[in-house]
Amino acid sequence: MNFTLRQVSYLVAVAEHGTLAAAAAALHVSPSAISVALDELDRALGVQLTLRRRAHGVRLTPAGRAAATRGRRLLRDAGELATSVGGSGEVAGVVSVGCYPTLAPAVVAPWIAALRERHPRTRVEFVEDDQDRLQRRLLDGELDLAVLYDHGLSSGLDTERIAANVPYLLVARDHPHAGVGPVDLRVVADEPMVLLDLPPSSDHALAVCRELGVTPRIEHRTRSPEMVRALVGQGLGWSVLAQAAPDPSTTVARVPLDREPPPLPVVAAWSRAITRSPVVRAMLDARP
């Protein structure tokens, strides 16, 4: 091997930050040091990995994008090796986890705690993103695992079911149907709806409405679950959500539906093309 992990880490940093200056700031080195390392990596691999023009920043070539993807895996494997050479057999290393935003508080937070309790020398780096981007990042090798809804997933992913969320009606705390037992969704059919406009949640919520005979009058759309709760809490509409975590808000109320739609399965997903490392397997085993 005629290249170094340092050179690979500089390429990955440029891919993630987009410019030499931003990558240099993140790594606490000079832009010129990164530029020299990239030139050395080009010569070592015999291919041009980046296009660097002063007025246009840095772009990765197709070979550069492929090298950055493989480089991320190489750096994670090297980090895991470095933290596990003590000979104790203890699982150690970093696992990169992506999560659909509405699932993170209920699923990922307790999962990280369970993993750290079993394996103190592990560390979880997690990101929240929409379902499509998380799938792409899994397939590109940027993430080890992702927590997703089992809806429209790529055939290149393997999955393990970890939960199932039941949809419910969300209304303001002072709504006439707050605190009432299961209700027919049609009781709010004439009122405006606040839609969590973040697929697949939006697709599922609208499918629930159709199944229960309601054509919603969507007044507000937002990609933020917190904004959904804020708008509903102000009496500006109702919503259909499927989050499992208890809602700490005192301004909204959850009301079960009398015709309960099928649960929406939640899965842990990983790329079928990438072998799971010991720390990834340990995280799957540690799921609470």
pLDDT at 183: 93
The helix or strand, by DSSP H or E, that contains position 277, with its residue range, turns out to be: none
| Residue-range domain boundaries for the chain | 5-76, 84-164+266-285, 167-262
Tell me if 227 sits within 8 A of 221, measured CB to CB. no
pLDDT at 147: 94
Q: Report if pTM > 0.85.
A: no
Asked if the domains 5-76 and 84-164+266-285 are classified in one and the same CATH topology, the answer is no
Pick from 18-22, 230-234, 254-258: least confident: 18-22
pLDDT at 82: 62
Mean pLDDT of all residues in 263-284: 88
Pick from 49-63, 111-125, 170-184: least confident: 49-63
Fold that domain 84-164+266-285 belongs to in CATH:
D-Maltodextrin-Binding Protein; domain 2 (3.40.190)
Mean pLDDT of all residues in 145-165: 91
Pick from 2-6, 81-85, 189-193: least confident: 81-85
Examine residue 200 and say whether the peptide bond preceding it is cis (omega within 30 degrees of 0).
yes
| Vertex 105: Cα angle to 103 and 109 (nearest 5) | 115
Please say whether the structural domain 167-262 has been given the CATH code 3.40.190.10.
yes
Examine residue 192 and say whether the peptide bond preceding it is cis (omega within 30 degrees of 0).
no
Fold that domain 5-76 belongs to in CATH:
Arc Repressor Mutant, subunit A (1.10.10)
What are the backbone dihedrals phi and psi of residue 94, each rounded to the nearest 5 degrees, phi first?
A: -110, 140
Q: Which of 165, 164, 153, 156 is nearest to 256 (CA)?
A: 165
Query: How far, in Å, CA of 131 to CA of 148, rounded?
Result: 7
Query: How far, in Å, CA of 264 to CA of 50, rounded?
Result: 43
pLDDT at 56 over 80: no
